[in-house]
Amino acid sequence: MRILTGIQPTNNLHIGNLFGALIPATKLQEEHELFMMVADYHAITTLKDPKRLTENTLFTAAAYLSAGIDPARTTLFVQSSVAAHTELAWILQTIARMGEANRMTQFKDKSQTGAEKAPVGLFTYPMLMAADILLYGTEGVPVGEDQKQHVELTRDLAERFNRDFGETFLIPEPIIQSNGARIKSLTEPEKKMSKSAPSAKSYILLTDEEDMLAKKIRGAVTDSEREITLDDERKGLLNLITIFSLCTEYTKEEVSERYQHSGMKVFKDDLVMALNQYLAPIRMNMQEYSDDRAGLLEVLQTGNEAAEMIANQYLKTTRERIGILRP
Ligand code: TYM
């Protein structure tokens, strides 16, 4: 099965990106054909700093490698390097309906300051994402819960295109983890952990060192109850138990049973230790990969070429199907 996913290089990556998409992708590459993309054309809908865009693009690729993406078996590439993405995105914009695009909750969230001032690209972004997915005959898309709606839109667009112009695209499925698909903010546990959150205390970055992890976890909002229990209503605690289970292989039930009577302090201290043990090797790799700029560029160039060959083939068929003349 072909799998594709991507992360926007808007900022440093956080553990929501890691547990929701990146780690699942590293596991999927063992049995499937994986396309792992740095979604830089998505990032420019919000990031307007050229230097940071370049650096973050390299940094995101380094994060993929550090978490275990293996370029020998996976195609690691940069979205903007394959021109077919924006071309198919345009075609899909002529297929998608305003009503559909209007229903995308992420646009509503991200344009909170007012849709009037939001870039048009933020509105049409799901069609670019659909193009990313459809250009590779992708069947599975590992993403966090917040991207599920975009994959569903992709399915609808593919089905409509196939119906109107003949079988062209495979219909992709979102692959959502049962644990880790929605890591919450540490400071406002009813919201998801997000790179664009105003407070840096609300997220944990892949690069956070132990003392920073300790500060953030100790400051994480929980509640005044003493016992550690698994309770959907105790959102802050549930989030910490989830993170604990993700970085240890214990189930959430095992974590809560183990710490039931230990008190919040011991629980949080052990979580810091477990999280640090989990992130330390990734942090170290990150340093190494980031220092080897030439090596990173070479991996990306190879990936870009491989991706382009496949994407161009799909684009060619799509153009033919809709009657585009190439004299
Ligand atoms: P982005 O860059 O916002 O997030 C990257 C991935 O991380 C997941 N994620 C989370 N998972 C769990 N808990 C969280 N708090 C959390 N926050 C983010 C996201 O669901 C995502 O899987 N449009 C996409 C990037 C993209 C893409 C694609 C993904 C572009 N083209 C094609 C898949 C296929 C985005 O903005 O993700």
Residue 195 domain-assigned (yes or no)? no
User: Active-site residue 192, yes or no?
Assistant: yes
Residue 229 domain-assigned (yes or no)? yes
User: Active-site residue 27, yes or no?
Assistant: no
pTM over 0.85: yes
- Give 71's DSSP letter: T
Residues with CB under 6 Å of ligand 1 are 4-8, 16-17, 20-21, 39, 42, 129, 132-133, 141, 143-144, 146-147, 181-183, 192-193
Residue 206 near residue 186, CB atoms below 8 Å: no
Residue 243 domain-assigned (yes or no)? yes
Q: What is the pLDDT tens value at each position of the chain, 327 positions in all?
A: 999 999 999 988 999 999 999 999 999 999 999 999 999 999 999 999 999 999 999 999 999 999 999 999 999 999 999 999 999 999 999 999 999 999 999 888 877 767 788 999 999 999 999 999 999 999 999 999 999 999 999 999 999 999 999 999 999 999 999 999 999 999 999 999 998 888 999 999 999 999 999 999 999 999 999 999 999 999 999 999 999 999 998 999 999 999 999 999 999 999 999 999 999 999 999 999 999 999 999 999 999 999 999 999 999 999 999 999 988
Residue 192 domain-assigned (yes or no)? no
Sign of CA dihedral 53, 172, 180, 279: negative
- In whole angstroms, give the CA distance from residue 130 to residue 169: 11
User: Active-site residue 184, yes or no?
Assistant: no
Q: Residue 130 is encoded by which pair of tokens?
A: 């659909």
In angstroms, what is the span from residue 238 Cα to ligand 1's centroid?
22
Residue 75 near residue 306, CB atoms below 8 Å: yes
Residues 230 and 87 in one domain: no
Residue 279 domain-assigned (yes or no)? yes
Q: Is 82 helix (H, G, I), strand (E, B) or coil?
A: coil
Range of the domain at 232: 200-287
Residues 206 and 129 in one domain: no
Residues 177 and 76 in one domain: yes
Quickly tell me which residue has 């979580």 as its tokens: 271
Q: Residue 264 is encoded by which pair of tokens?
A: 């919040």
Residues 58 and 166 in one domain: yes
Residues 96 and 176 in one domain: yes
- In whole angstroms, give the CA distance from residue 19 to residue 34: 17
Q: Residue 144 is encoded by which pair of tokens?
A: 């966090």
- In whole angstroms, give the CA distance from residue 256 to residue 221: 17
Residues 206 and 267 in one domain: yes
- Domain count for the chain, please give it: 2
Query: In CATH, what number is assigned to the domain containing residue 260?
Result: 1.10.240.10
Residues 9 and 107 in one domain: yes
Residues 26 and 70 in one domain: yes
Q: Is 268 helix (H, G, I), strand (E, B) or coil?
A: helix
Pocket test for ligand 1, best of 4, 5, 7 (most atoms within 8 A of CB): 7
Residues 109 and 138 in one domain: yes
Residue 100 domain-assigned (yes or no)? yes
Catalytic residue (one of 148, 191, 195, 252): 195
Residue 188 domain-assigned (yes or no)? no
Q: Exposure of 32 by Cβ count < 10 A (0-12 exposed, 13-18 middle, 19+ buried)?
A: middle
Residue 55 domain-assigned (yes or no)? yes
